[in-house]
Amino acid sequence: MNQTLERPSYPRKLKLTLAYDGSGYHGWQRQPGGVLTVQETLEHALARVVQHPVAVRGAGRTDTGVHAAGQVAAFYTNSPIPAERFSHALNSRLPADIRIRQTEDVDFSFDPILSVRTKLYRYTVFNHTDLPPQADKYSYHFWKTCSVEPMQQAAKFFVGKHDFTSFSAAGSVRQTMVRTLLRCQVHRRYHWIYFDLEADGFLYHMVRNIVGTLLEIGRGHWPPEAIPEILAARWVSHSRLFHVEELRLRFGNGVERTYERLNPGFHGAVMVVPVRDDGRLLLVREYGAGVGDYYLSFPKGAVHAEESMLDAANRELMEEVGFGAHELELLTELSLSPSYMGNRMSIVLARGLFEKRLPGDEPEPLTVSAHTFDELIELQASGVLNEAYAVAALFLARERLAAAEAP
């Protein structure tokens, strides 16, 4: 939680308006373990200027890789430095990716969180297959064909006072999940799509979940009119990984039905089919808690909020088999159980492998094995290779490579 701004016996309270590039930071909030955050960097610089320890309270806690143009923070001090000179003194001690835009004396009643009237977020998406250099730091790469008009229609349904439980992170619990969205606008400029959301406050992951839903509408997965139905969904139960939603729908013929669906608390998943130069495929043997046994599969994992699907594919490849790939190709996107589960798995073909290992989160080292297509088909026929995603990925990869070799 955000650090409490206790009032010490200092005669001044200063308000800071700052901007920062969050690319090199693990979010705003100070964290244990020595990881670099904006708050901690700012507090260290402030302590050097005012010559006493400082506790900063920020208006919002941005996540890893998120940037700010007008973050507001406040702190107490006994420093006599005039407010108009404070920004220069502080900027001279801050790294170039954090800039103080304004400093002003405020009343002790001012609170960066409680005094907020509205917050404005801009979420930027690059909608094309070829991502420009450095663009991954300032945008989300969504390569699928996407139409802005249905997203603009859907965005209007978000405006107003709603319970945004369906758009918060799984397991997120607040005193109230109701927020008032004043603005939800979508516009496109060339390959860039901009989502501007203004509200009296946001739930954890609320902005990115709204944007993700609008992108699904933009590519035709849902109609704009689905938004009220999604807003009406309520959690029945939730755990660390999943939450169960109750969804009440009215069909075109007037029939009403209540469903339950299982939604994961992450941003999609990816399975990688790594192919060596000799044509053999790399698989891993790992423990599956669902079946209570070890099983053979291709490397896979969740897509993190701050990375693209292809970046996630390369990361999982490095973590699980100790290789990266010069060439990554999306084969398809699969749904395992569309009748009750919202999760989708992107199947990626990886070629041009090179040795590189990253630390993973597996509880024990994974066993990596190399097989030909014929060997894997025999393993599938005998029941050794029986994970549905892996079997589908095997035949998709074989078809793609055969097409590439055809005259």
DSSP for 279-308 reads: SPEEEEEEEETTTTEEEEE--EEEPPTTS-
pTM assigned to the model: 0.65
User: Which of 69, 54, 56, 91 shows the shortest CA–CA distance to 22?
Assistant: 69
Q: What is the pLDDT of residue 273?
A: 97
**CB within 8 A of 312, min separation 6: which ones?**
270, 301, 302, 303, 304
d(CA 351, CA 311): 14
Host domain of residue 210: 119-264
Return the pLDDT at 256.
Answer: 79
Q: Which of 234, 264, 294 is the last residue of a domain?
A: 264
Residue 303's pLDDT is: 82
- Kindly report the number of other CB atoms within 10 A of residue 339's CB atom: 7
Q: Is residue 81 included in any domain, yes or no?
A: yes
pLDDT score recorded for residue 4: 45
CATH number, position 144:
3.30.70.660
Q: Supply the pLDDT for residue 241.
A: 63
- Which position among 63, 97, 163, 196 bears the catalytic label? 63
Tokens of 280: 């053999």
DSSP-based three-state secondary structure for 39: helix
Q: Based on the residue annotation, tell me whether 361 is a catalytic residue of this protein.
A: no
Q: Specify the pLDDT at position 150.
A: 96
The pLDDT assigned to 246 comes to 74
CB environment 344-373: b (16+ within 10 A), e (fewer): bbbbbbbbebeeeeeebeeeeebeeeebeb
Nearest one of 249, 240, 244, 242 to 260, comparing CA atoms: 244
Same domain, 163 and 83: no
pLDDT at 321: 93
Going through 200-290 in order, the beta strands assigned E by DSSP cover 234-238, 242-250, 256-264, 269-274, 281-288
Q: How many CA atoms lie within 13 A of 167 on its CB side?
A: 25
* Domain-located, residue 55: yes
The CA distance from 164 to 155, in Å, is 14
What's the pLDDT score for residue 257?
Answer: 79
pLDDT under 50: residue ranges of the chain = 1-5
Same domain for 41 and 74:
yes
The Cα diameter of the chain in Å comes to 81
Instruction: Indicate which CATH number applies to the domain containing 354.
Output: 3.90.79.10
Let me know whether 99 and 235 are in one domain.
no
Residue 18's alpha-carbon distances to 40, 58, 73, 91, 164, in angstroms, are 14, 10, 8, 10, 29
Tell me the one-letter amino acid at 292. G
CA distance 348 to 378: 22
Distance, in Å, from the CA atom of 135 to the CA atom of 281, rounded to the nearest integer, reads 32
**253 and 138 co-located in one domain:** yes
* Same domain (yes/no): 316, 239: no
**One domain, residues 276 and 383:** yes
CA 183 distance to own-chain centroid: 22
112 falls within a domain: no
Answer yes or no: do 51 and 32 share one domain.
yes
Contacts for 55 with CB less than 8 Å, ≥ 6 apart: 3, 4, 5, 6, 43, 75, 76
Region of 386 on the Ramachandran plot (φ > 0 left; ψ -120 to 50 alpha; else beta): alpha
Total structural domains within the chain:
3
pLDDT in the model for residue 267: 64
Residue-level pLDDT at 11: 85
Structure tokens at 7: 């009032």
- Pull the structure tokens for residue 21: 């590039």
Give tens-digit pLDDT for 53-112. 999 999 988 888 899 999 999 999 999 999 999 999 999 999 999 999 999 999 999 999
Look at residue 171 in the predicted model and tell me its pLDDT. Answer: 54
Question: Which pLDDT score is estimated for 390?
Answer: 94
Picking from 264, 288, 303, the residue at the C-terminal end of a domain is 264
Q: Does residue 258 share a domain with residue 130?
A: yes
DSSP state of 386: -
Which pLDDT does position 1 carry in this prediction? 41
- Kindly state whether residues 193 and 96 are assigned to the same domain: no
Return the structure tokens found at 16. 């800071």
